[in-house]
Chain A
């Protein structure tokens, strides 16, 4: 029996090619976003790992200690440890060349004499003009560059390479070119090598190294050497395998990955709605066919199986297409995520094509098929429970679908209220996916409510549509009201798509608003000088000498050197902002949300306490009165927490301490920001020019006035949400597909109705108007429903997701402007989507339509 039912289904596909194609495309898009995000995330992590592995070369172990590095003495200890064959210190800097059109160049400082045994780079013999490059490297201005970089700038041995360093602009001499393999592949070939001690000097590392790469004796187990080193190296210094550093990368980018995963699930949810929509309408359209089949003896379960089988096959085809589309989407997504990783986390990646993982593809396939089955379940059940006697009657005998009952309304309300209550009162740390269920519960509740909501809104719109558009307007609204299943399915797809857009927009607006208000409160310097246009510059720093030179310029009232770094804490890392506290407290007031401010003002500049950000407090469960302990290169540092402040610098949590305290324990005098306050009456713009003149040709420095600085931070936040913006576009696109799908089906379902109206004297223009107005009405209802769902989901995002992802909750803010801007856009999309169905309706042959079976 199933074979004949399959044949009937195939005939349906053949007859309704467009509907079939749109349905498949809906699930394909949902799956593609899901697959693309996961693939891009995997590819990014792989490319970050590749960078680490290429830079590590043949090292079996690495010694690291956060971004600040560790003192030189550690190198001696490592070398003297039994089982260590070679140990080489390394410094990595993302520096800037002084070429006019050039961006970043990764400069790796290695011990040239021992290094070639450990690190994988080969000199390009064909280009070498120097007999032994290693001899040449003994000179302090020597540098080696990759062939990619050399060719890009037409460099050859002996040419000059100008670089901005912490000591100002310096010209290095290219002493060799290495092949684009091994280390030469890192960072897309934008890489150079110099002597580690020279790098230490020119990049202001003091007497610190960033890392030690070591090779163990082949006959000694690596774990044994690792344990031995851990036993004797100072606290705060980690001994790790290069491969396991991938885990720390995953931790570093976890917030970004989780955010992307949540949004990709929403995209899949929208795709599921399209399937639901399609099948609901398909059941309506095949009403009579189902009646005939039932009359001919097809049992209820077989009717249900026919629809579920169709969903499974459509889901399968859509998912396969989705995986293929997703793979190509991943190219762009990897790029965006790579840029984000660089700008937010300061992580350097090596471009790689997307990695195709069969298990991801299979997971996406299964997810797509399960989503299709779930979506088709209710329509299939409705089809199987159809009364054959009724189904065989004419269209007038169709019963109004029972989706408007008060039982459903009560169920929907209960689901929404439960979801809201869970978000409000219950935020156990049970994992993002579990908590995502709160959002899903609210969304499903709204979906259950949607038919009634659509009906109410349709009735509310009726008088206005009548007044504005006459009978066509009324017919358009009535068509929607009387087909609640079809209408709510379309509005549902639109609602979920727009929910995503509105809640993401609200989340972004809330975050931006909160960051801006915080900045307005505590960021009040007149000028800022930074090392990078990115949020974080992990490797390139100023020296304190620059601050001294700026301080000598006329008009400076006060100047503070700021170090913004990341250090290990617990099993993760946290941000440290080390600032000259006396200066900072002198220009901010009422800065503590918790704690005794006078006490903090007294003790902080003496290095007798720290301040923490709210998200640090919530992440680690500590606050004022607790003591915080760091393992530093100079031994343990333990201080009381004197206050909690509002700060959004890092999603990992930030600790503020006096700069002198930081320098003493981390042996690090690097500077990332210079905050400048000017004497009253000093012209900011003129002073900025003076700093530009001072640094021109000497330092790669970015100088911002207070307003420019705030704008820059807001742009960085926007950059963080770049992928969300892309997903918003996909969500709207998928929702638009839903409208097209519904209207095409709606027109084909209502052939007879349209034929009757034409027979009664309805002009073609009136029919066109009717179809277009139906789209407009659905768009309006969709926007309203999307706004309601968006509000619920925003509540989830600001209270739950933000706490999990970023460690802090942000105030609820509803994006009224975004909704008002979206409304005409959605109406325009709906009108565009309705254009083709309207055309079909207008071209309908009336005689055939009236006799249409």
Chain B
């Protein structure tokens, strides 16, 4: 698939002077002149208080939202040059997403939820189901494939969400407070699972969290406040960091 215009090669994600404002009258600066670069295979945690711009950053990277100014470049492609459908295709082929509230479809079974991205990509039902069952096995839910979300615990639901995010082996995984709705033991389980899957798939992970322990699983931590990156902490010797 040829999407947009190729700009750079070094970083997987590159934000250049990105701002995102909301409102017409009294403008809220959700992100303010952010420059950021993330390498392939890197695990980056984003921390900060509520309203600091963490979720906005995620939304801009996955193309769900557009910056007011500046550019977001994903694998060398400037997202601003892509139309909605192209951004959507990029998302469904390259970006896995995990939400704090799981966002599973209540009408579908675990296996159907997991297979959904493949089905949206046009995979056959049989193929999608086969891969979904395999993926559910990898997240330890082989015996829960026919259950619906309301029949599962919080931890199980998040595992399904992770399985759904990884089903098409995306190069980038965005996780927005994946342990926010879970107790600490289950949260730790989920983070270990992410570590394991990171090793297995070598996916780049961008983890938004309030939780220091969750952030400790990453290579690098970015601290956001009032829409800007105020600090960076490197935990592992990989990645590029703030420019």
Contacts and interface: CB of A to CB of B under 8 A. Distances in A.
B132 interface: no
A400 B120 CA distance: 25
Interface in B95-109: 97, 99, 101-108
Contacts of A762: 88, 92, 120
Interface stretch (B58-66, B136-144, B205-213, B223-231): B58-66
A759 B88 CA distance: 7
Contact of B103 (A481, A756, A765): A756
A763 B89 contact: yes
A85 B216 CA distance: 116
Contacts of A563: none
Interface in A747-778: 752-753, 756-766
Contacts of B97: 759-760
Nearest to A842: B84
Contacts of A764: 84-85, 88
Output the residue of A397, A470, A471 with the most chain B CB within 10 A. Answer: A471
B119 A474 contact: yes
A381 B84 CA distance: 43
Nearest to A394: B101
Interface in A384-439: 394-400
Given A478-B107, A753-B105, A847-B65, A761 B120 contact: yes
A471 B116 contact: yes
Contact of A847 (B59, B92, B93, B107): B59
A760 B64 contact: no
A474 B107 CA distance: 11
Given A760-B97, A761-B91, A846-B64, A396 B120 contact: no
Contacts of B104: 396, 756
Q: How large is the interface on B (under 10, 10 to 19, 20 to 34, 35 or more residues)?
A: 20 to 34
B121 interface: yes
Contact of B117 (A478, A481, A761, A765): A761
Contacts of A395: 106
Contact of A398 (B88, B106, B122): B106
B149 A471 contact: no
A482 interface: yes
Contacts of A846: 64
Nearest to B97: A759
Nearest to A482: B107
A850 interface: yes
A850 B65 CA distance: 12
B125 A466 contact: yes
A761 B107 contact: no
Contacts of B59: 847
A317 interface: no
B164 interface: yes
Nearest to A846: B64
A398 B151 CA distance: 10
A479 B102 CA distance: 19
Interface residues of A, number: 33
Name the prevailing secondary structure of the A interface residues: helix
Contacts of B183: none
A761 B92 CA distance: 4
A752 B103 contact: yes
B54 interface: no
B223 to A, nearest CB: 23
B157 interface: yes
B64 A759 contact: yes
Contacts of B164: 760
B164 to A, nearest CB: 7
A624 interface: no
Output the residue of B65, B84, B85, B120 with the most chain A CB within 10 A. Answer: B120
A395 B99 CA distance: 14
Given A398-B150, A761-B117, A850 B99 contact: yes
Contacts of B150: 396-400
Nearest to B59: A847
A483 interface: yes
A400 B149 CA distance: 11
B20 to A, nearest CB: 10
Nearest to B103: A756
B65 A760 contact: no
Contacts of B105: 475, 753, 756-757
Interface in A183-202: none
Nearest to A758: B88
Output the residue of A395, A466, A760 with the most chain B CB within 10 A. Answer: A760
B126 to A, nearest CB: 10
Contacts of B91: 759-761
Nearest to A466: B125
Nearest to B164: A760
Contacts of A850: 64, 99, 103
Interface in B143-184: 148-150, 157, 164
B108 A478 contact: yes
Nearest to B116: A760
B89 A761 contact: yes
A812 to B, nearest CB: 40
Output the residue of B62, B92, B99 with the most chain A CB within 10 A. Answer: B92
A309 B163 CA distance: 46
Contacts of A482: 106-107
Given A396-B157, A764-B85, A846-B64, A757 B101 contact: no
Interface of A: 394-400, 466, 470-471, 474-475, 478-479, 481-483, 752-753, 756-766, 846-847, 850
Closest 9 pairs (CB-CB, A-B): A761-B92, A471-B119, A482-B107, A396-B149, A756-B103, A478-B107, A761-B91, A846-B64, A761-B120
Given A397-B150, A753-B106, 8 more contacts: A396-B157, A474-B125, A481-B107, A753-B105, A757-B120, A758-B64, A759-B103, A850-B99
Interface of B: 59, 62, 64-65, 84-85, 88-89, 91-93, 97, 99, 101-108, 112, 116-117, 119-122, 125, 148-150, 157, 164
27 contacts: A400-B148, A470-B119, A471-B120, A475-B105, A478-B107, A478-B112, A479-B107, A481-B107, A482-B107, A757-B116, A759-B62, A759-B64, A759-B91, A759-B97, A760-B97, A760-B116, A761-B89, A761-B92, A761-B117, A761-B120, A761-B121, A762-B120, A763-B120, A765-B85, A846-B64, A850-B64, A850-B99
